[in-house]
Amino acid sequence: MEIRRTFGNIRRFREISFILAKYGFGFVTKNIKFSKTKPSTTPEQFRKLLEELGPTFVKFGQLLSTQENILPYEFIEELKKLQDDVTPFEFSKVKSIIETEFKKPLNEIFSYFNENVEASASLGQVHKAILTSGQTVAIKVKRPNIEKTIQADIELLKQIGDYLNSKLKLYFNFEIKPFIIEFEETIKKELDYEIEAQYMQTFKENLSQFKNIYVPKVFWEYTSRNVLTMEFIDGYKATNIESIRSAGFNTEKLATEGAKVFWIQIFDIGLFHADPHPGNIIIMHDGRICYLDYGMVGRVTEEDKLNLVEMILGFIQKDADKILLSVSNFTLNTNILNNAYLKSDIVELIDIYHSLPLKRIYISKVLKDLFKILKKYNIIISKNSLRLLRAIIIADGVGKQFYPDFNFTETAKPYFESFAKKLYSPFRIFKKILQPNATYAILANKIPFLFKKAEGALESGHIKVEIEINGLDKLINTIRLVAKQIGISLIISAVILGSSILIKDHLGKTFLGLPIKLIIPIVIIIILGIGIYKADKDLK
């Protein structure tokens, strides 16, 4: 194994090698023979190792803690304990960074600035202040030189990635390099506070209609890549349940409201806070729920929603094939559909939950059990899907901290039902079919070419077919019925194509959500569809 020989790299590499050896991982940086017996390093030692290696490795460990379907359970639980708290850096540096970013003395921006930190983490720290305009704000300031430190560590991780793969596969059966790449992408976004501010703005715009949710306001005038200025939120951290109870809040109601906040993000806006742990949640004095730290955000497609709903329905309906199909979509791996052993394990899992009512089915437990099965068959869930499923597990856990008997799945029921009704609505299906589509235009352009091609074939060729067969009358009737089906299908296609052209520019007035000028084509399609159905019955 070779490391790029720069002074900084060599010094950091030696430091990392010493700490790795200290915790029983010296084999990682030494090209020596190593037996296939598992190392004596415990999950706790691994967590302490990452903490001592510094901010980059703490963040990397936090990413690994999300891989429930890959790492052993005991490692996952230990990595979740990784502490992001570090010693604050000097106020003089905070002052210098802010004044450099905004080209103004600190006292021209703030009438008051608390030199003591509200919170300190590996990437930055937060101070409370009051703008000269009177608003109380929280200012997040990035740690000096942190980008250089992280980039240097990532370069070292990349260089030893191949070697790490060969060693870690002996124990965890996964490749480390894709996670290094994902980690680099994630950490770069977290290091740019303008990206986080933009996410906050998007959430605020989309969630403003919901009374039980609040998103802090961003003060763009004093926000940059290195500084984020937002509205200061006063309230109770979700980590302190006792103080919330003492303030007179009903924690069962808060658990339910928190779940609603989560499902609204998934099913109503398609954008969700991907790290909704208690440290990132404030219960405001008026009972509203406020998320902090928008560094990790996920997006949900209609397909993701459908897969989630279908997977839960699979457990309720005792349908292993439905679950397998959903899982294959989450993993982007269709090969698992034919895995009889995997299906057998899922059937066993279904048997555990099938007899239970919905209110006794805990979605986080279902997902964790499913992850164990997928890990058994080395099936890896795609990054975006895993982010969604992990957020569900975290949100469910937070609800149980507020109220031990809380059922996250029960609160999801109305959102699942609403989505299913909308998805399978006949009007939605017809609107989807009749929506102007580039495919129709491409097909229309091809029709003259196809007729020309057929005409040329007839002019240049000579076709002679002789058939001698028993039951010729039956065959002729069958051909006629098939021709009828084809003819009706072509008419339907023509109606759809013609309708899409008619509504290309102006939809006009609507009735029941459909343009009036499309009602007649829809009726025609239904009548012709009945014709196809009858022809199909006659064929049988």
pLDDT in tens, 503-531: 554 556 665 555 665 566 666 666 655 65
Phi and psi for 501 in degrees, rounded to 5?
-70, -40
* SS3 track for 356-385: CCHHHCCHHHHHHHHHHHHHHCCCCCCHHH
Contact 190/227 with Cβ under 8 angstroms? no
* More confident: 482 or 48: 48
pLDDT in tens, 172-196: 556 677 778 888 888 999 999 999 9
* More confident: 495 or 408: 408
What are the C-alpha distances in Å from 261 to residues 201, 203, 289, 406? Answer: 17, 12, 8, 15
Contact 402/254 with Cβ under 8 angstroms? yes
DSSP label at 295?
S
Q: In 3D, which of 366, 22, 281, 27 has the Cα closest to residue 163?
A: 27
Q: What three-state secondary structure class fits 88?
A: coil
Banded model confidence at residue 496, pLDDT cuts 50, 70, 90: low
Give the model's pLDDT for residue 182: 81
Residue 394 has pLDDT above 70, yes or no: yes
**Mean pLDDT, residues 74-78 taken together:** 84
Question: Catalytic residue among 275, 304, 345, 396, which?
Answer: 275
Banded model confidence at residue 472, pLDDT cuts 50, 70, 90: very low
Query: Which tokens is 221 given?
Result: 């005038």
Residue 214 has pLDDT above 60, yes or no: yes
Which of 40-44, 56-60, 225-229, 351-355 shows the lowest per-residue confidence on average (mean pLDDT)?
40-44
Banded model confidence at residue 7, pLDDT cuts 50, 70, 90: very low
Query: Which tokens is 445 given?
Result: 């352009």
| E strand spans, 337-489 | none
Residue 301 has pLDDT above 80, yes or no: yes
Spacing of C-alpha 469 from chain mean position? 60
Measured CA to CA, the distance from residue 503 to residue 352 in angstroms comes to: 52
Contact 291/275 with Cβ under 8 angstroms? no
Give the model's pLDDT for residue 39: 47
* More confident: 60 or 344: 344
Residue 110 has pLDDT above 90, yes or no: yes
Contact 152/12 with Cβ under 8 angstroms? yes
What are the C-alpha distances in Å from 124 to residues 190, 230, 319, 350, 489? Answer: 10, 15, 48, 45, 63
Query: Which tokens is 530 given?
Result: 């009945």
Residue 476 has pLDDT above 50, yes or no: no
Banded model confidence at residue 488, pLDDT cuts 50, 70, 90: low
Measured CA to CA, the distance from residue 460 to residue 452 in angstroms comes to: 12
Banded model confidence at residue 273, pLDDT cuts 50, 70, 90: very high
| E strand spans, 217-280 | 227-231, 235-237, 271-273
Give the model's pLDDT for residue 249: 96
Query: Which tokens is 187 given?
Result: 């950490």
**Mean pLDDT, residues 109-133 taken together:** 95
Measured CA to CA, the distance from residue 273 to residue 335 in angstroms comes to: 31
Measured CA to CA, the distance from residue 275 to residue 390 in angstroms comes to: 9
* More confident: 413 or 533: 413
Give the model's pLDDT for residue 33: 42
pLDDT in tens, 413-470: 888 888 877 776 666 555 555 565 555 555 555 555 555 555 555 555 554 544 444 4
CB atoms within 10 A of CB 125: 21
Contact 84/279 with Cβ under 8 angstroms? no
Burial of 131-142, coded b for 16+ CB within 10 Å and e otherwise, reads beeeeebbbbbb
Residue 24 has pLDDT above 80, yes or no: no
* More confident: 261 or 51: 261
275 is catalytic: yes
